[in-house]
A and B are shown apart, each in its own frame.
Chain A
Amino acid sequence: NAGVMQNPRHLVRRRGQEARLRCSPMKGHSHVYWYRQLPEEGLKFMVYLQKENIIDESGMPKERFSAEFPKEGPSILRIQQVVRGDSAAYFCASSPGTSGGVYSYEQYFGPGTRLTVT
């Protein structure tokens, strides 16, 4: 069973460009979470999504950042007009929701996307 996949693993963007980060959850998982880890800092929650719904976006910056998890395909974290302060590691996690009739929401993380803004 493949784990959470993220691509690209490394992304370099110039200031003002757009960054698109992709996350494919584990098979059978319907919940996706995005976290950001700035250099030398801890992990911070950004957004929690289920298929076609944003459940909690309390950690998302108010401007330039958006996330989606469509019915088909990976979850996308989009950063418009990137600035140097967006340079960070972005981690995606997924959880199953329900498994065997029991709600299970341990989060399993992907390897991350390292975004560098030049």
Chain B
Amino acid sequence: DAKTTQPPSMDCAEGRAANLPCNHSTISGNEYVYWYRQIHSQGPQYIIHGLKNNETNEMASLIITEDRKSSTLILPHATLRDTAVYYCIVRGFMTTDSWGKLQFGAGTQVVVTP
């Protein structure tokens, strides 16, 4: 029961910014937006998360719309090593039933090309 919708795939040129959209129209006030990625068959890697404010770290930026119904993960300068499946996940606070588990959908397969 994934609560998010992502495009199945997208291509990005090396060195350019990659903008990955995610719709989460049913998100509730006590739910965060998390992003993970899985490179080939490795373990998923945490990227970033946010509640309502935009967030930035050394890997990426997360832009959440004011109504919180959608978000965009931005990889500012994509490299070939960023080729992976990217997962957008909605996750509740620890007082909710869903807070412990990460519910992965199909994600977006991002291919960075030279």
Check B104–A42 contact: CB distance below 8 A. Answer: yes
* A102-116 interface bits toward B, Cβ cutoff 8 Å, 1 = contact, 0 = none: 010111111110000
Chain B residues touching A, range: 10 to 19
B: residues with CB less than 8 A from A are: 34, 38, 41-46, 49, 94, 99-107
Secondary structure class of chain B's binding surface, majority of residues: loop
Task: Annotate A81-118 by CB proximity to B: 1 below 8 A, 0 otherwise.
Answer: 00000000101010000000001011111111000000
| Most A-side CB within 10 Å, residue of B46, B49, B105, B106 | B46
**Nearest B residue to A89, CB-CB:** B41
What are the interface flags for A16-54 relative to B under an 8 Å C-beta threshold, 1 for contact and 0 otherwise? 000000000000000101010000001111001000000
> Is A111 a contact of B100 with CB atoms below 8 Å?
no
Given known pairs A48-B100, A105-B99, the reply for A112 and B42 (CB within 8 Å) is yes
Known contacts A42-B104, A42-B106, A45-B103; A107 and B46 CB within 8 A of each other = yes
Tell me what chain A mostly uses at the interface: helix, strand, loop, or mixed.
strand
Given A33-B101, A59-B101, 17 other A-B contacts at CB below 8 A? A31-B100, A35-B104, A42-B104, A42-B105, A45-B101, A45-B103, A48-B101, A55-B100, A103-B94, A105-B94, A105-B99, A106-B49, A107-B46, A108-B46, A109-B44, A109-B45, A111-B43
Q: A103-B94, A105-B94 are in contact. Are A43 and B100 (CB under 8 A)?
A: no
Residues of B within 8 Å of A108, CB to CB, are 46
Q: Please indicate the chain B residues that have their CB under 8 angstroms from the CB of A105 in the complex.
A: 94, 99-100
Question: What residues of B have a CB within 8 angstroms of the CB of A103 in the complex?
Answer: 94
Residues of A within 8 A of B101 (CB): 33, 45, 48, 56, 58-59
Of listed B44, B99, B105, B106, residue having the most chain A CB within 10 A: B44
